[in-house]
Structures are given as structure tokens and as C-alpha cells.
Amino acid sequence: MLRMFRPALLLFAGFTLLTGLIYPLLVTATAELVFPWQAGGSVLAVGGRPVGSRLIGQSFSAPRDFWGRPSATSPQPYNGLASGGSNLGPSNPAELAAVKARVEALRAADPAEANVAVPADLVTASGSGLDPDISLAAAQYQVARIAQARHLPASQVQAVIDRFARHPALGLFGEPRVNVLELNLALDGDVPARVR
């Protein structure tokens, strides 16, 4: 009987060692060597104090700030421990009501944009609920409100968007986007440094 189980037990132990210890250590070591900032969470700091990660969205609601995508995480928005979407489809009454409320809030906050379609990423959560980026259209939709709240010319706010815009990798992969935390820090005059 032991002869029959011995190969299975050896394979089980070998694969447990390989996939449970060796592979994770190899991936972690490679990430730390090749991409140390990203492996450490892409944390941005101002004045030596961490202010957030470039990879996880934050909740901004002041009129003077760019607002990111809504977060579907609970119990609070952008909770990294509860990453996930709402799982509500586009025809679900609860999702429709939430989107409608978000559109109304944006229209009230940005009356100068009343005749402009609200970009979808400002009213719908991402699949992770943690998206730190918004589309260029979503950023431009907010320019008038932010310029007015900060007493800046709209062209200066637009220049910040242009400076931080990221374009598709190799011109093919991804969408043009901008990181909300970086935009708000730049508008505040803060120069974030990478932690690590």
C-alpha cells in the first residue's frame, strides 16, 4: 500500500515546495530587484510623509480637487482589503439609481458643463473599486470647477492635466489617462517623492 502512495506523497511534497515556497520567493525577489518602487506599493510622499499610493485611488470631494472614479468597496471607499466591484449590471435598478445620483451631483458641482456628457468613468466604479486614474475626458470635465474654486485660469489647470497625462503603452495598450492623486498634489504645489 505504501508503495502506491509514495510517488503521490513525493509529488505532493515537491509541488508544495515548488509552488508554495520557491516560486513565491523567486517572484518576490525578482520584483524587488527589477521594480522596487512598484513592489513596495508605489507610495508617494510629500515632505517625507506618505500621502498615498499611485496604484490605489483616494476619496476626494472638495470642489478644488479632481474627483476620481467612484469606489464600490466597503465599509469605506478605496478599501484595499475589500477590492472588488459592486457586481451590479448596467440594467440593475440599484446601479441605475446610483449612476443617476452621481450624474446629478456632478451636474450640480460643475454647472458650467451642463451641456457636456458626463464621462462614464466619473459615475461608474471600476472592477476593483480602487482605480486611481481617470480618463482625460473626465479630468477635462472638471477643469472649470477646479479653476473657479482655486482662483486659477482654466488654462493652468489644463496644463497640469497635460503634464501628467499618460498615453497608451506603445500607442496600443490602455487608454489615455491621468492619476488623480498626482493631479491634486501638483495643484497644491506639492512635489511628491517616491518612498524607498
Q: Is the pLDDT of residue 148 over 90?
A: yes
Give the predicted TM-score (pTM) of the model: 0.80
In the chain, where the domains are located? 1-34, 35-194
- ∠ Cα 180 44 178 (to 5°): 25
* pLDDT bucket at 169, cuts 50 / 70 / 90: confident
What's the pLDDT score for residue 142?
A: 94
Q: Are 156 and 183 in contact (CB under 8 A)?
A: no
- Report the b/e string of 80-112 with b at 16+ CB within 10 A: eeebeebebeeeeeebeebbeebeeebeeebee
What's the pLDDT score for residue 195?
A: 63
Q: Is the pLDDT of residue 196 over 60?
A: no
Give me the chain's average pLDDT, please. Answer: 88
* Per-residue pLDDT reduced to its tens digit, 65-115: 999 999 888 788 888 888 877 788 888 898 899 889 999 988 888 887 778
165 Cβ neighbours under 8 A, 6+ residues apart = 136, 176, 177, 178
